[in-house]
Structure 1
Amino acid sequence: MPSFPDPQALLHALFAAALKAADPSEEIARHLPSHVRGRLVVVGAGKAAAQMARVVEERWSGPLAGLVVTRYGHGVPCERITVVEASHPVPDEPGARAAQGLIDAVSGLGPDDVVLALVSGGGSALLTLPPPGIPLSDLQDLTRALLASGASITEMNTIRRHVSMAAGGRLARAAAPARVVTLAVSDVPGDLAHAIASGPTVEDPTTSAEARAILDRHAIAVSPALRAFLASPEAESVKPGGLPHGEFHLVAAPSLSLRAAAELADSRGVAVISLGDQVEGEARDVAAAHAAELRARIEAGMARPFVILSGGETTVTLRGSGRGGRNAEYALALAIAMEGWEGVHALACDTDGIDGTQDNAGAIVSGLTVSQARERGIDAAAHLADNDAYGFFERAGGLVVTGPTGTNVNDFRAILCV
């Protein structure tokens, strides 16, 4: 088998290329509103919201004010736009206060005013504003149950749009009659506007009945007060036709990051197989499917080197008590499936730099990862059974740590065969 110089360095380079393509700065500058006769008010939510706000400040010469909320550790200094940090993925009081602050910031505007909304992945949790009379703890319990259930991001956001008073178009409705310009960094399959950050400024085609059906499908119990609210007319989000004064622009998306990684791989003489940017499913099941795809390519005699790229967002159904996000769990399950395979390496990372609630973006593995760990007394299967992928890689090596990246176009996965 021919040698290939530093396969893991190439995987890191592919991830870096994906992150660079996810930087929304130039697209934000290109889509800044023009002809603002009144005030420009900036609001935003998501893991990239603070970074986006700073770009707006740098590129907008006129007066502006505003408020954005981002995850703890993702804030950046801004001079004219207030940046609030709050909890993700389980909401907290600072986040709820910030969500109300966004509603207050856009209320009372006139037809000459413009609201510039900066939304990105993570905004759903950060925009959690409980309905009147329902405590935040009810939505915190709901969020924990959703995260443990294995529900897809599409399903979770359908529910969030109907239980948060800042989601599902309600933020834009509060801004009427002002014009609302939304700049979005997509982290959802299909780049659907109403799914990004649970669509605070866009119309929502889903219904509260669908939200209740998802709860029933996953056997998720909610408080009587929350269940009653979901059955009431107040739970309905803003439906198509309800926001006539808005425009929406996508400034970064998963497909662009995959394309950038593919172009780099091709320039290095590596053939590319793309599985697309909409891969969903249980992390360990997706890993098994990707291992099968890899084996089929190898057994068919595909010329090496080649790389299998994919994006999207997997889920994890909690069965154990360990630590680790969906990318680390995918990487561990893939390493187990690839044990002993020659010349195979893989990286799985979240483009926001934080995988779940830990400090890593994801992990990097090879066909030797599991056997080398076993020699050190580390049981990969036991760690996977306990949902403790982070604990495995912390002991065995392989954590990828980038820190917050200032963007979020969901997961990036690359399997390299050399």
Structure 2
Amino acid sequence: MGSWVKKQVLGKGTFGTVSLAVPCFPKDSLHIPAMAVKSADFKNSSSLQKEAKILYELRDCPGIVRCFGEDVSVEDGKRVYNMLLEFAPGGSLKDLIRQSGGHLPESDVAEYTRTILEALSYMHGKGYVHCDIKPGNILVFPSKDGGNNVKIADFGSLAKRSDCEVKGCPGTLLYRSPESILFGSTKASGDIWSLGCTVVEMLTGKSVWPTAIFQLKGVSELLREIALGKRPPKIPQNMSDEGKDFLGKCLVRDPKLRWSADMILNHPFLQQVKKSARLQDQQMNNNKAMPCLARSSNCDDIWIHEELQAALFISGWRRFYQKQKRPSLVGRTLSHAQAADRKKKLFCTNCLLRLNILEWLPSLFKGSITKGAQSQR
């Protein structure tokens, strides 16, 4: 625990505690500003150690929370096992639903669902079943475009696909599939059922099962309704036809008729998200091709100023740049007519300066290398 320190407790569970931790040396090689540390008494940390090994095996999937490593510390005279995870500033998907007024837009739901399904497909391909997919176990991270990315977390209930029946099947009751309650099944189809329940909650802010049954008649009645109920879970009517059909493929009582993660990834409900993502990528590539023309007139000068300053700082020509810079290269707000004319001039000036920099750099580096060699002699 010499390179990081716990700051505050984020939550507690049967395994132990989750704390926010920060590196003692902020400028370390990992550049990790904050971490979520799962801790447990070393004697009772076998489940956490198992989870760390699984996360290391699944580390190549972007839709699964990253594990930075393991550590053992001494706290209050006891050995404590710590699993270092990436910290989610946005909390969980459950928090996001609550902050959004109890429901999320269908376009966002489709995007999050696609990411979760891609992670499930990767996980199932490795022979694992999560067994506890729910909004509380989906973490939210900010994306570069100002939106959100989601990642699956909490692999304490994970099981091997070969384990067809398990006594005391893990998972949260409201998201468990009928076959997991009846037979203790831990097959991959159970994750798809849980995903369907999660999608309903993202859209409505409510569980797919009426909580009144649990409150008035007890857990036994809720178990009976999930496992033996004749009607399928209620699908929100304010969804698109593609969304309703998607949930119909997830919330099928017969696991043999339920679609797999690979199959449902090609569903039209998710394909529209891929189309919009491709359009966004294409637009971003167009912006990169002509960066000066893709920005507003008010920020063009500032952007060119920053670009040139960075390039010239690297080449060691800061003094030259300061002598040659013009008022147009220092951010100013201009009228529309002046901005249009100035933009054309700036684009030409930018191109010429870039060409000059490229011509100066080889000779500059050659001179610095020669001086370095002479000093070594």
| Greater fraction helix | 2
Query: Which has the larger share of strand?
Result: 1
After TM superposition, the score normalised by the length of structure 2 is 0.23
Q: Which has more radius of gyration? A: 2
TM-score by length of 1: 0.22
